[in-house]
Amino acid sequence: MEASENAFLDNIDKNTHNEERSKDILICTLCGTENARRKLVCEGCKKREGIKEARTKKSDGHCSTESSTNIKTASKTQEILLTDNSNQDEYSRYQHIPSNHQNPTSVTVGMPAFVNPNSNESVSLVMRHIGINCGIKRYGGSERSWAFVCCDGRPHSLYHKILEESILCNYCQQPFQSRKLYKDHHKSCHQNLTPSCSREFDWVYMRIGAGHYEMNALKAFFELNWIPYLEKMCELMGFNSENAKHFAKTCKDHHLAWQLLLTFHTAALNEMVIPFVRSLMNTNDEPTVENYFKFYKQFQAQNPNHAYLHLQVCRYSQAVINFRMGIRRNNAQLVHSAKFHLKELFYGRCHPHYQNIELFDSIQYKFMPEEVKASWDNNTSFSVSGNKSKGQDLDFILEEKNKAIKQYLPSGSVPSDETWRNICCNLKFFETIQEKLAEILGLGQQSDYGTKLIDISNAITSFRPVLRKHLAAMVDDHQSVSGRKLHPSLVKFLETSTQKRQDKIDSSILGINIEKSSGPVFITDDEEELHQKKMTKAELKNNITKLIEKLSENVELQTHYVAIIESLNDTNTNKDTYLTLYFELKDVTANSTSDS
């Protein structure tokens, strides 16, 4: 490398260059002279022993020089380290984010409801139980007209139906699970009166637990980007077996998944700005965000590898990180911004529960009274310890309380309802005794321990050369960092997902008949082919008809395939025949498009 070239190279380039160069040389162990790989006698000391020993070490995976040692260290499996920071009292994560935490939040466990919420009736009982304990006016209380109810994904979806269909007769205050049951009741009991009813649970404002929302957003991101980026990155981290890869891909350990996300995000950001920074060396432009986006649109947006990475980092992984920061600091604006940018992530692939939750959450917030909206934003998260960077939503706070309750349950037997009730009612008393005892014994409380810093520098350094090689490749096809060809539609993930979300709104909210989607945004061609083979005969016939319509410019060819599809009998024609015709038409339409 010349001196002028070195001015534009960083350590990643130099290490990569040295690693490639080390493959073609042997360094004599006696005199340190560099020799061609095929040399038998050292050009410096004219001896064979040094070359022979160097070749032996190289075949065993050892390195001969300091630079080679650095290369070997960077290429082996990397670890993500935690650094104890408990002695730095003033340290607080996310200090650059404004915090709206005021005082420590006092959490009181209410009376448990002893039902299994697996049916509409039992879920309704749980909701009434909450309403009575909160003092909701509908149930005879005098304190509240509404309340927030927080839960995780699956129960949240179940409550949607209950909120819409549970009806209360305004004459006799009798609840019903559906409007049909109410109408039958009105005909038999209030026939001479004008029908009058209301939704029983109109006092409820459902909120998805932020902890579970973050976990599912992270799972959706990993599932989408596993083949393009994360599989190769996890291999560098030591996830080599199929079970280990599955563990990482499905985010079984949320803390580990978070560290892997930070590794990917930081490494990708560093590599995305490298071409921009190098371009500034030849110009007098300022290194601003505006100039970076201008550079991206002018030089990189047309490259599918650059375009897709830019979307995943600047929109999705950054939004997941922003969501975490907003929750930790009780910053409603940052949380709303993160949710806005994450919403399409649930629609491109198969995440039906969180599609429904995202729509429900957006519509509910839009039509909230200002008083309720202000309370919602002021209480985005809660800090039990009082630390302004340790906010959690109610779902994770409840899990901690549940763990605290279980430590007082008697072991070796199934606790009775009375046992549960006694522990829940006296939990605050038990915790006070525990705190006093810890104070007497000089033991620290859990909230006294500082956050451990995550050291991912080695992991980032090991992944950056892979990303740099991937982005430097001058290819027309969209490829993964491993060189695997990706589906052409993947680079249009945002546009396709946005349309799928609009179709969901039209069909579920507005009641407009929408043609069923042809499937998720495919990651590879093999995935699309597998999906097509799983289609029913009716779906295949419908897609064949659409492909025939695309042949409108070739009337003869279109007439030929129309005659074929009309000659097929659904009863006597097997699925393989439709599949063969479908794949044949795909090739024909693709060739027709390329010819035109």
**pLDDT tens for each residue of 197-226:** 999 999 999 999 999 999 999 999 999 999
Query: Tell me: the pLDDT tens digits for 239-294?
Result: 999 999 999 999 999 999 999 999 999 999 999 999 998 888 888 888 899 999 99
582 lies in some domain:
yes
Category of 458 on φ-ψ map: left (φ > 0), alpha (ψ -120 to 50) or beta? alpha
pLDDT of residue 101: 92
pLDDT of residue 81: 52
pLDDT of residue 65: 39
pLDDT of residue 235: 94
Strand order in the sheet with 175-176: 175-176, 167-169, 197-199
577 lies in some domain:
yes
Judged against a pLDDT cut of 80, whether residue 5 lies above it is answered with no
* Strand bridging mode 197-199 / 167-169: antiparallel
Distance CA 31, CA 45 (A): 6
- Residues 305/478, Cβ–Cβ less than 8 Å: yes
Judged against a pLDDT cut of 80, whether residue 295 lies above it is answered with yes
Distance CA 390, CA 25 (A): 53
Judged against a pLDDT cut of 60, whether residue 327 lies above it is answered with yes
107 lies in some domain:
no
Which of 179, 208, 237 represents a domain boundary (last residue)?
208
541 lies in some domain:
yes
Distance CA 156, CA 207 (A): 8
Distance CA 406, CA 84 (A): 29
Judged against a pLDDT cut of 60, whether residue 123 lies above it is answered with yes
Distance CA 164, CA 124 (A): 12
Query: Tell me: the pLDDT tens digits for 143-199?
Result: 899 999 998 767 787 788 888 889 999 999 899 988 899 999 999 999 889 999 999
Domain range holding 37? 11-53
Which of 188, 208, 228 represents a domain boundary (last residue)?
208
| pLDDT, greater one: 310 or 584 | 310
205: three-class secondary structure by DSSP: strand
451 lies in some domain:
no
216 lies in some domain:
no
| pLDDT, greater one: 468 or 118 | 468
**pLDDT interval class at 385 (50, 70, 90):** confident
310 lies in some domain:
no
- Residues 364/206, Cβ–Cβ less than 8 Å: yes
Which among 275, 267, 166 is positioned nearest to 225, based on CA atoms?
A: 267
DSSP string across 168-197: EETTT--EESSHHHHHHHHHHH-TTS---E
| Own/partner long-range contacts of 419-425 (Cβ < 8 Å, ≥24 apart) | 420/112, 420/114, 421/111, 421/112, 424/109, 424/110, 424/111, 424/112, 425/111
> Would you state the structure tokens that stand for residue 468, as one six-digit string?
């740099």
Q: What is the mean pLDDT of the chain?
A: 85
Residue with tokens 């499905």: 250
437 lies in some domain:
no
Q: Report the domain count for the chain.
A: 3
